[in-house]
């Protein structure tokens, strides 16, 4: 029997659908023992500082108000160092958005793959992982979920591509739904967009800590079109407390 988790919910499948490369190794820069640091390490470290600085500046000011001068000041690098890695502020923002989207997708896909074979349990695990990402990586989450929508066409297109990439996972719910073939074709994009919108609102008003308490509500929202309101409510009511594998919730 085919395991849908391997085809529709693997990290590689999610990332491929979203147009994001799946890195072979998620490496962190570790300083070598030699006194003279290799040029490649210095460049990698400086790039990391620039990306982090942009994310922090965006949280404080919003994308449109951030300048390259703000970024290099916070990162502690020279202006020409910035331009050795990025052509402009938008290119730097897109790099941060890609990083944020990739991390969110990895967490969701890993959580889904680690859940039971029951699709509702996978939905719960995936939503929980996404909320955990938002709670634990607030700067990256704001860049990806909030600022991408106002940072220009390229950023908005990346955001929409990620939303569309998650939709096929929810479409699996049609298999066990008697009226699955009659459901609206855009239902899954509406579900994913609705979840993102709730997260967006909580980030914008400065209350991301409320998202943990919305887990059951969001799961019920996602399952109701497929299971029906009564069955969806019974599922979230009966679901045992689950430890978040990321340790964030």
Q: What is the CATH architecture assignment of 9-21+89-238? A: Orthogonal Bundle (1.10)
Residue 66 to residue 204: CA distance in whole angstroms? 17
| Confidence tier at 245 by pLDDT (50, 70, 90) | very low
Tokens of 154: 């390229």
- Reply yes or no on whether the pLDDT at 179 is more than 90: no
Q: pLDDT of 75-133, one tens digit each?
A: 999 999 999 999 999 999 999 998 898 888 899 989 998 888 899 999 999 999 999 99
Distance between alpha carbon 214 and the CA centroid of its chain, in Å? 17
**pLDDT at 241 (0 to 100):** 53
Q: Please name which of 133, 126, 123, 125 lies closest in space to residue 103, comparing C-alpha atoms.
A: 133
pTM equals 0.78
**pLDDT at 210 (0 to 100):** 86
**pLDDT at 101 (0 to 100):** 87
What angle (nearest 5°) sits at the alpha carbon of residue 128, between those of residues 177 and 105? 90
In this prediction, what percent of the chain has a pLDDT beyond 90? 48
The full set of domain ranges for the chain reads 9-21+89-238
Instruction: Give the number of other Cβ atoms within 10 Å of residue 188's Cβ.
Output: 23
- Reply yes or no on whether the pLDDT at 156 is more than 50: yes
Residue 48 to residue 142: CA distance in whole angstroms? 18
Please report, for residues 55, 59, 129, the alpha-carbon distance to residue 137 in angstroms, rounded to integers and kept in the order given.
10, 12, 12
Q: pLDDT of 58-69, one tens digit each?
A: 989 989 999 999
SS3 178: coil
């Amino acid at each position: 029997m085919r395991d849908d988790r391997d085809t529709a919910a693997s990290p590689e499948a999610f990332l491929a659908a979203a147009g994001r490369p799946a890195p072979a190794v998620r490496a962190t820069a570790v300083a070598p023992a030699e006194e003279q640091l290799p040029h490649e390490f210095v460049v990698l470290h400086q790039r990391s500082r620039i990306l982090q600085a942009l994310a922090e500046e965006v949280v404080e000011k919003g994308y449109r108000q951030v300048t390259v001068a703000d970024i290099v000041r916070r990162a502690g690098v020279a202006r020409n160092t910035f331009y050795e890695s990025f052509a402009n502020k938008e290119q730097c923002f897109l790099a941060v958005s890609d990083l944020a989207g990739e991390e969110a997708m990895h967490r969701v896909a890993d959580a889904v793959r680690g859940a039971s074979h029951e699709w509702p349990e996978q939905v719960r695990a995936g939503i929980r992982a996404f909320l955990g990402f938002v709670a634990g990586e607030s700067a990256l989450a704001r860049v990806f979920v909030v600022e991408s929508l106002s940072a220009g066409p390229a950023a908005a297109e990346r955001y929409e591509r990620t939303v569309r990439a998650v939709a096929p996972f929810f479409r699996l719910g049609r298999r066990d739904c008697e009226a699955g073939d009659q459901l609206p074709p855009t239902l899954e994009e509406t579900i994913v967009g609705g979840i993102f919108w709730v997260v967006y609102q909580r980030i914008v008003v400065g209350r991301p800590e409320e998202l943990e308490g919305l887990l059951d509500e969001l799961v019920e929202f996602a399952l109701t079109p497929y299971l029906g309101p009564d069955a969806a409510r019974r599922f979230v009511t009966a679901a045992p407390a689950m430890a978040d594998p990321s340790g964030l919730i």
